């Protein structure tokens, strides 16, 4: 019998991570910032969706820290004409349409929470419909 999907609540209840309270604070802020943002578990981490499409997924690197991957979903999409301006200069671009925000400490995550919420909302607007 297939395993029932794990909810984000269940995942976070079981999560033992030094940034746990920062992750919870970011999650709450993202969900409160925009009623179109939903969440689910992807890559064994919380993923934030726009219209059911994954757009921002947390990653727990094996060597520590925390990353937020900004992406356009599972399938490769044509990047012709796609552009996203990062006013913070904090996104590391792995591809023209795949960025990574890295947090080295719980304090860094908490201090940048509002900035990250604004970036994620801008990313979702920029990637809507494709």
The CATH number linked to 12 is 3.90.1150
Range of the domain at 25: 8-127
Instruction: Enumerate the β-bridge partners of residue 41.
Output: 46
pLDDT on residue 83? 86
State how many domains the chain has. Answer: 1
**How confident is the model over 58-110, as pLDDT tens digits?**
999 988 899 999 998 767 677 778 889 999 999 999 888 899 999 999 999 99
Tell me whether residue 3 is in a domain.
no
Kindly state the percentage of the chain with pLDDT values over 90.
67
69 in any annotated domain: yes
The answer to whether position 42 is within a domain reads yes
pLDDT at 3: 61
Is residue 1 included in any domain, yes or no? no
């Amino acid at each position: 019998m297939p395993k029932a999907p794990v909810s984000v609540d269940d995942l976070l209840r079981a999560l033992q991570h030094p940034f746990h309270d920062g992750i919870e604070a970011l999650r709450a802020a993202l969900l409160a910032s925009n009623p179109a943002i939903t969440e689910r578990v992807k890559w064994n981490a919380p993923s934030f969706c726009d219209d059911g499409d994954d757009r921002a997924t947390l990653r727990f690197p094996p060597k520590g820290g925390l990353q937020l991957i900004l992406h356009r979903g599972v399938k490769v999409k044509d990047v012709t004409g796609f552009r996203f301006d990062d006013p913070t200069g904090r996104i590391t671009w792995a591809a023209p349409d795949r960025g990574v925000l890295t947090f080295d400490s719980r304090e860094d995550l908490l201090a940048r929470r509002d900035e990250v919420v604004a970036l994620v909302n801008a990313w979702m607007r920029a990637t809507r419909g494709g």
